[in-house]
Chains A and B, each alone.
Chain A
């Protein structure tokens, strides 16, 4: 039983990974290195990046940008979302617009930010912030909206204080939704991070990609893309883990 499971679960991905690498190697060896470098050349370039410290520097820059912009969006969106949930008039007045911004492609605002704020760290933080903030805000608002009115009424009839109301009803109900927003926000913030590093002042892993592209160093481009894929996968997995950790609350209370 154990053995067949091992067989079924690990053999197919192992085969596709090896076949994928082999196909890549073959395709790369049949074309010019500027079009598609081979798998081995890409790995060698990746190792080179690690050894020279080029990669560590780029990752640190990217992570700093991401954490600053994304952190800012969480700090702004979560309290704002809760406030909108508690004050009905404010929510009704703004929810359509928040929904609109949530479904708007934020990338379209990059040129405005560029022409208003120029180059530097701050405009890039604004881009990451804008990409992720509405996902967090929208989901938090939706979560707080899903609090059953009966619960609030019961709490009120037991003369629950405003503080207890938040602690025992609003926050536990909203948290799972906020975390969904945070997971979505991580994904969007990553796109914002790379876009900012491409189109505003070049930095981090984004710069690694564009500079290598301009030099027709395709091995470098592919190596940097692999790095950013791992970077994204790790951050998304982190977001998903936190989301699942608290998702149970949603099931219990509904």
Chain B
């Protein structure tokens, strides 16, 4: 918590709050879990997942090589797809943000495809890539790309013009302008885009696995819930939630560690 000292007083109070209220948070979780346990126990059929059953299922699921292979397959595909989407999205986003003609030319496509629920292209992608992992990869990249490109474009557009003017008057070369000013200044937007993209990529991967019956966490959930092993299936859901939260935490950490200037000048 050494970096918290540098923050102004109000922020510091906000940062220390989670620790101070840990008791209330845990109690809240226990109450919610108890409600779930009791309500499902009373009103739902016995196979429906309950907290105690899920906890009991965790050791056997985590030691199941099939589950580990499924988890590895899904998360690795999501990570690879995200890297591809970030690289492509950054290039397209930078071009759209800084070159007006490019923006006008492609805004129609990018905005339209961003607004489209990406699940809809899944059947088309399976037609093109077959019922294989390639279709899942394509879904992930497709799901993640537009959020990154749009946010990166917003970021490149928001670069303070003073910076560019100073660079120009010092006759900075184009390489320095792009990689010294535009890219770093857009990084907070890229992170915001990646947060959205990671969530969409995860949904894309899961839905693709449902659709093409491809081994992975999504199919593990589908298979186990079909055979009424809801507790086991829910462990996979928890892992997915954990992955989503880790991405969120990672983005927040990068933001605080490497881009602290953004918060100070920006929103808060």
Contacts and interface: CB of A to CB of B under 8 A. Distances in A.
Contacts of A199: 210-211
Given A9-B104, A108-B236, A109-B237, A195 B248 contact: no
B105 A111 contact: no
Interface string B82-126: 000000000000000000111011111101110111111111101
Interface stretch (A13-21, A70-78, A170-178): A13-21
Contact of A35 (B127, B211, B244): B127
The listed residue with most A CB atoms (<10 A of its CB), out of B18, B108, B113, is B108
Interface stretch (B22-30, B57-65, B171-179, B180-188): B22-30
Given A9-B104, A13-B104, A228-B120, A103 B206 contact: no
A184 to B, nearest CB: 9
B28 A94 contact: yes
B241 A111 contact: no
A232 B116 contact: yes
Given A20-B109, A221-B123, A193 B117 contact: yes
B120 A104 contact: no
A236 interface: yes
A112 B28 contact: no
Interface residues of A, number: 62
B44 interface: yes
Nearest to A104: B241
B120 A225 contact: yes
A110 B221 CA distance: 9
A101 B207 CA distance: 18
Interface in A75-127: 89, 92-97, 99-101, 103-112, 114-116
Interface residues of B, number: 64
A117 to B, nearest CB: 11
Contacts, number: 166
A95 B104 CA distance: 41
B228 interface: yes
A85 to B, nearest CB: 15
Given A13-B108, A104-B240, A111 B245 contact: no
A194 B221 CA distance: 19
B156 interface: no
B211 to A, nearest CB: 7
A105 B29 contact: no
B234 to A, nearest CB: 8
Contacts of B108: 13, 16-17
Nearest to A218: B127
Q: B18, B27, B112, B117: which has the most chain A beta carbons within 10 Å?
A: B117
Nearest to B219: A111
A115 B106 contact: no
Nearest to B205: A105
B136 interface: no
Contact of A93 (B27, B106, B225, B248): B27
B199 A105 contact: yes
A166 interface: no
B71 interface: no
Given A8-B100, A93-B27, A111 B221 contact: yes
B127 A34 contact: yes
Contacts of A114: 225
A229 B241 contact: no
A93 B207 contact: no
B32 A97 contact: yes
A97, A106, A107: residue with the most chain B Cβ atoms closer than 10 Å? A107
B115 A187 contact: yes
A100 B245 contact: yes
A105 B202 contact: yes
Nearest to B25: A96
Contacts of A195: 117, 119, 207
18 contacts: A16-B106, A36-B128, A92-B17, A104-B237, A104-B241, A107-B210, A108-B240, A112-B230, A115-B226, A190-B117, A191-B203, A213-B123, A213-B126, A225-B120, A228-B116, A229-B120, A232-B116, A236-B115
The 9 closest A-B pairs by CB, nearest first: A93-B28, A12-B105, A213-B123, A111-B225, A103-B244, A104-B241, A12-B104, A190-B117, A229-B116
Interface of B: 17-18, 21, 24-25, 27-29, 31-32, 44-45, 48-49, 100-102, 104-109, 111-113, 115-124, 126-128, 199, 202-203, 206-207, 210-211, 217-218, 221-222, 225-226, 228, 230, 233-234, 236-237, 240-241, 244-245, 247-248
Interface of A: 8-10, 12-13, 15-17, 20, 34-36, 89, 92-97, 99-101, 103-112, 114-116, 187, 190-191, 193-195, 198-199, 205-206, 209-210, 212-213, 216, 218, 221-222, 224-225, 228-229, 232-233, 235-237
